[in-house]
Amino acid sequence: MDGRGFLCGSLSIPSPSNSSFSHESLSRSLYFLNSQVHLPKRLSQFQPLPVLRLRCGNAQEMVTPEPSVSTPISDYHHIDQKLLQNMVYDALVWSSLHGLLIGDKSVEGSGRVPGVGLVHAPFALLPTSFPESYWRQACDLAPIFNELVDRVSLDGKFLQDALSRTKKADEFTSRLLDIHSKMLELNKKEEIRLGLHRSDYMLDEQNKSLLQIEMNTVSSSFAGLGSIVTELHRNIISHHGKLLGLDPGRIPVNTGASEFAETLAKAWCEYNNPRAVIMFVIQAEERNMYDQHWLSVVLRERHHITTIRKTLAEIDQEGELLPDGTLSLDGQPIAVIYFRAGYTPVDYPSESEWRARLMMEQSSAVKCPSISYHLVGTKKVQQELAKANVLERFLENKDDIAKLRECFAGLWSLDDSDIVRKAIESPELFVMKPQREGGGNNIYGDAVRESLLKLQQAGCEENAAYILMQRIFPANSTTYITRNGYCQKDQTISELGIFGAYLRNKDKVIVNGQSGYLMRTKVSSSDEGGVAAGFAVLDSVYLM
Amino acid sequence: MDGRGFLCGSLSIPSPSNSSFSHESLSRSLYFLNSQVHLPKRLSQFQPLPVLRLRCGNAQEMVTPEPSVSTPISDYHHIDQKLLQNMVYDALVWSSLHGLLIGDKSVEGSGRVPGVGLVHAPFALLPTSFPESYWRQACDLAPIFNELVDRVSLDGKFLQDALSRTKKADEFTSRLLDIHSKMLELNKKEEIRLGLHRSDYMLDEQNKSLLQIEMNTVSSSFAGLGSIVTELHRNIISHHGKLLGLDPGRIPVNTGASEFAETLAKAWCEYNNPRAVIMFVIQAEERNMYDQHWLSVVLRERHHITTIRKTLAEIDQEGELLPDGTLSLDGQPIAVIYFRAGYTPVDYPSESEWRARLMMEQSSAVKCPSISYHLVGTKKVQQELAKANVLERFLENKDDIAKLRECFAGLWSLDDSDIVRKAIESPELFVMKPQREGGGNNIYGDAVRESLLKLQQAGCEENAAYILMQRIFPANSTTYITRNGYCQKDQTISELGIFGAYLRNKDKVIVNGQSGYLMRTKVSSSDEGGVAAGFAVLDSVYLM
């Protein structure tokens, strides 16, 4: 789930764990839209080489240049500069008029009040090539993962056992497990179970395989803006693609926003109280609010369902658990709780937030996710599921099991002394992942060795706060990264997130499928692996 | 045309001519969305009285309160506070996702680079009541005014005579007249004539009549955002109108953006060069660029026509007049020149800009407007047309003439000593309008007396720089003015702009009709008359 908050991370100073991220690499080919544009400090450190000034607002399509019909999508190296300027300008205009927006950190209030301090979301100017066979493989996995999450969530003992050692090393997981235990004690059953997941993959260049990075079961973001950036790419290629030899039809339609909203609406229907509303649990400061608003707007316009937005603290203050189990906020019954907060310790600064979480879990509202679904998405459970013969405990279909296993990267507990020794010897082949959620916490390169040696001294309890994962080496491609009104060309790697929606009521599976996608692309650098760590931009898929 | 740039004016310190505008009046009922929001200095001077904090992003529709079905549109005084919060929040979200945006002056680059420094356009939360009979009257006038402008434009001698004294007193009008003279000397005929006008009206409360404020024949703005704000109002009332007793069907559909774009596209067709593009003449800094982009986007998406954007200085540098009269920019032929700059002396800082204007006028491109159309829109010509028996020189249809005359306010030259004496005695009954274009130049109240006395001392030549107009006294209504994420209730007056589109090729009239509308609303204060002077917000019409 480390990618969830990448937009926040992307516009802030890199955290210590990824401070080795090289900004110099970004400046190799920097194209100026306008040298007068105000830049955040970090960006202005770039020393642009080939400076190209966009003439005042040129929104012109190219008419004269010869089309280079055979240009493959992966070879953007020599796009005509005038065409490039026009595409960037058109893309910036399109983004502004079509809500591809985030809050601008430099403007106060932009994370709280809609309509102020807006800036286009960072995006790749053109979609990134992705082989169709791997695309289909990733899409096919969605319903299997959805089903797996549901099955595992029902096995309370498995979850408690798998996380028993993490519990001692990680306070946050421990608190989640406490709530989970309470629900087990109460024998609380979630009859209506709703999952809005995002499974993230990379294509490993060495092994020629699609490997799962992680499974997000809570607050899977960018179903909203992911749909919009796909529309942007289809629009840009519709108008300029001929000159680049690109076909908009090769960008898969992305219905993430409408399908997530529809699944939320169906969950609301199952709850069956027409007076009830859907509650988005949000952070008090949320610069990615427009991604969320896209879901609310579809819920309102298409499904005529009201959404309210509350922080955990507000839920603690205003919420009430009625005798029949109904969660009521300010007198209003809640049908569905959709978490866009609560996945990181930062969201629980006091006991108030934990009280709210417990109250919600105790209620009859449909939770997206329930505490069980949340725990299934932890890295430790991901690692446990990758062990031999574990999937077989939850799934019957041999084909499904084989398909899942095929996408599992190497995953190990730090109890495995052989692997730890190998990782100390060759840290570049591993990623060390803490249980801690939120972007930018993964450990790469020499820091893996240092961390492992430190843990060896500290004793084994701390080990349980981490897992080791095989380092994936995706292919590089060239991307025109566009942010803050600037466009810069660089070598990048990409991560494909496949959204999955799942809804069941008792024995009836109501929704189980793939629900759109999100490509994220970042500048590649030798000492980092995950797209989520460091700066990434919204992107989409160009099938090849 | 003083209203054209009102958004710029609205977010800047009031100019000296309207510095008497009382900001205190705005604070009478100020509702806080969030007390932490960054505010421009001017706004932060408000001393809010009833402070109401929006709980974290509440996007909830009201379910519980009793609907007040009979509330008339003009009585917003007692909207339930929670409903108000929800409507404001929804409106801010909707504006962000649907491109109801302007550049935020406080963010550098927001007037040059799209996608950065965005903020919602200031808007009235709900549309403003307007009697249906006057609405129809205003719409019916559009084709008549379109025809009148065209007829007057053909009478070069009339224009030169009408403006002969203004020419001496006003350098800007003088330069325009010079170009006009040159075209007369060359006997240059504009066979394809394109007008995208906006005629502004107010309802005079005392005389119960619809009176024209002015006729804009150049750079008539807000066809784009005007359409969007109408959509916003229909959306808000669709969701919340029942509680207020409002019907979205009573807001006239506003197709200003698509009709202006369609007329531009038809002009492009008449020019009949498929390689040619439409050029928007723009200011280098344009915070209202999204209003313009809406037209470009429709031209591109619906009509597959390319637009380019150039400043007057760029046109001088890159433009070339080919022997056949074609205007070529960087090798690209221009079919239609659409002026969104060039209407104010500020747009011509050097001879370069005047050279560009002359070159464009000499070209075969369709101009919107031609120099003749531009001159027809001057206040002096408006005043001349209001004289007895002048309309009859241009129009034959007696009904049409009567309809036009009915909407003419009193208009006088400063040569009329009787009127000047009256205005010195009762300045509150007059507005003094300088030829100078751009918002905020009109003179109201005691300043009328002072200015007239000063002019009497200076001698009569200066007189020609002004006209006197009957002061119109529109009814007050209550408006929730929303800007910078804040909403404040106040007493307001409104001005209705009716867009008109006109296109002819020789004897064939291709387009002549009303093309959407724009309501603008501002806080009323005793010492100001025009909506354009001072701060105004985008609004739409609610028929009653």
Query: pLDDT tens per residue, chain A (544 residues)?
Result: 333 333 322 322 222 222 222 222 222 222 333 322 222 232 222 222 232 233 333 333 323 333 333 334 545 557 888 999 999 999 999 999 999 999 999 999 999 999 999 999 999 999 999 999 999 999 999 999 999 999 999 999 999 999 999 999 899 999 999 999 999 999 999 999 999 999 999 999 988 899 999 999 999 999 999 999 999 999 999 999 888 899 999 999 999 999 999 999 999 999 999 999 999 999 999 999 999 999 999 999 999 999 999 999 999 999 999 999 999 998 999 999 999 999 999 999 999 999 999 999 999 999 999 999 999 999 999 999 999 999 999 999 999 999 999 999 999 988 888 999 999 999 999 999 887 665 567 888 889 999 999 888 877 677 888 889 999 999 999 999 999 999 999 999 999 999 999 999 999 999 999 999 999 999 886 344 444 445 789 999 999 9
The residue count for chain B: 544
Token match 């009509």: residue? B303
Supply the pLDDT for residue B59.
Answer: 34
B89/A114 touch (CB, cutoff 8 Å), yes or no:
yes
A309 touches chain B (CB under 8 A): yes
Kind plus residue range of the DSSP H or E element containing B375:
helix B371-376
Residue B96 distance to chain A (closest CA, Å): 5
Interface test with A, best of B33, B39, B41, B60 (most A CBs within 10 A): B60
- Which residues between 22 and 51 in chain B have a beta carbon less than 8 angstroms from any beta carbon of chain A? 33-34, 36-38
In sequence order, what DSSP letters do the residues of A108-133 get, joined into one string?
TTTTTSTTSSEEEPPEESSPEEE-HH
- Chain A residues touching B92 at Cβ < 8 A: 113-116
Residue B194 distance to chain A (closest CA, Å): 22
- Of A317-331, B67-81, B306-320, which gets the smallest average pLDDT? B67-81
In terms of Cβ atoms closer than 10 Å to its own Cβ (0-12, 13-18, 19+), residue A175 is: middle
Which 3 state secondary structure label does DSSP give A348? coil
B248 touches chain A (CB under 8 A): no
Query: Catalytic pick from A266, A433, A449, A504?
Result: A433
- The dihedrals phi and psi of B413, each to the nearest 5 degrees, come to -80, 155
Query: Catalytic pick from A437, A451, A463, A489?
Result: A437
A56/B282 touch (CB, cutoff 8 Å), yes or no:
yes
- Of A43-47, A400-404, B465-469, B512-516, which gets the smallest average pLDDT? A43-47
Q: Is a pLDDT exceeding 50 seen at residue B2?
A: no
User: For residues A26 and B264, which has the higher predicted lDDT (pLDDT)?
Assistant: B264
State yes or no: is A438 an active-site residue: yes
Q: What is the mean pLDDT of residues B10-28?
A: 27
Whether the ω angle into residue B14 lies within 30 degrees of 0, i.e. cis, is no
Residue list, annotated binding site of B for substrate: 198, 218-221, 286-288, 292, 340-343, 520, 531-532
> Rounded distance, CA A338 to CA A332, Å?
16
Which residue type, as a one-letter code, is found at position B42?
A: R
| Nearest CB partner across the interface for B98, out of A57, A59, A99 | A99
- Chain A residues touching B239 at Cβ < 8 A: 300
| Nearest CB partner across the interface for A56, out of B97, B290, B311 | B311
Q: What is the mean pLDDT of residues B89-99?
A: 98
| Nearest CB partner across the interface for A92, out of B64, B113, B310 | B113
Supply the pLDDT for residue A333.
Answer: 98
pLDDT by residue (tens digit) across B289-302? Answer: 999 999 999 999 99
Residue of A nearest to B224 (CA): A97
Count of CB atoms within 10 A of residue B285's CB? 16
H helix runs in B21-155, sequence order: 41-44, 81-97, 132-153
Q: Is a pLDDT exceeding 50 seen at residue B503?
A: yes
Residue A223 distance to chain B (closest CA, Å): 15
| DSSP annotation of A443 | B
| Nearest CB partner across the interface for A114, out of B96, B239, B290 | B96
Q: Where in A76-191 does DSSP place strands (E)?
A: 101-103, 118-120, 123-124, 128-130
Interface test with B, best of A100, A116, A281 (most B CBs within 10 A): A116
Which 3 state secondary structure label does DSSP give A513? strand
> Rounded distance, CA A306 to CA A297, Å?
9
Cβ-based contacts under 8 A for chains A and B: 209
pLDDT by residue (tens digit) across B239-260? Answer: 998 888 999 999 999 999 999 9
Residue of B nearest to A55 (CA): B310
Query: Catalytic pick from A515, A520, A524, A529?
Result: A520
Residue B38 distance to chain A (closest CA, Å): 5
Supply the pLDDT for residue A465.
Answer: 82
Q: Is B117:B38 a contact under the CB 8 Å cutoff?
A: no
Q: Is a pLDDT exceeding 70 seen at residue B488?
A: yes
pLDDT by residue (tens digit) across B131-152? Answer: 999 999 999 999 999 999 999 9
B296 touches chain A (CB under 8 A): yes
State yes or no: is A216 an active-site residue: yes
H helix runs in A283-434, sequence order: 289-301, 312-318, 351-362, 371-376, 379-385, 398-407, 417-425
Gap between the terminal Cα atoms of chain A: 28
Residue list, annotated binding site of A: 198, 214, 216, 218-221, 286-288, 292, 340-343, 379, 433-442, 444, 469-472, 495, 520, 522, 528, 531-532
Q: Is A391:A404 a contact under the CB 8 Å cutoff?
A: yes
Residue list, annotated binding site of B: 198, 214, 216, 218-221, 286-288, 292, 340-343, 379, 433-442, 444, 469-472, 495, 520, 522, 528, 531-532
State yes or no: is A504 an active-site residue: no
A119/B115 touch (CB, cutoff 8 Å), yes or no:
yes
Q: Is B519:B228 a contact under the CB 8 Å cutoff?
A: no
Residue B485 distance to chain A (closest CA, Å): 6
Catalytically active residues of B are 198, 214, 216, 221, 379, 433, 437-438, 520
Q: Residue B440: which pLDDT band, with cuts at 50, 70 and 90?
A: low
Query: Catalytic pick from A438, A516, A530, A534?
Result: A438
Q: Is B256:B67 a contact under the CB 8 Å cutoff?
A: no
For residue B7, how far is the Cα from the chain centroid?
Answer: 10
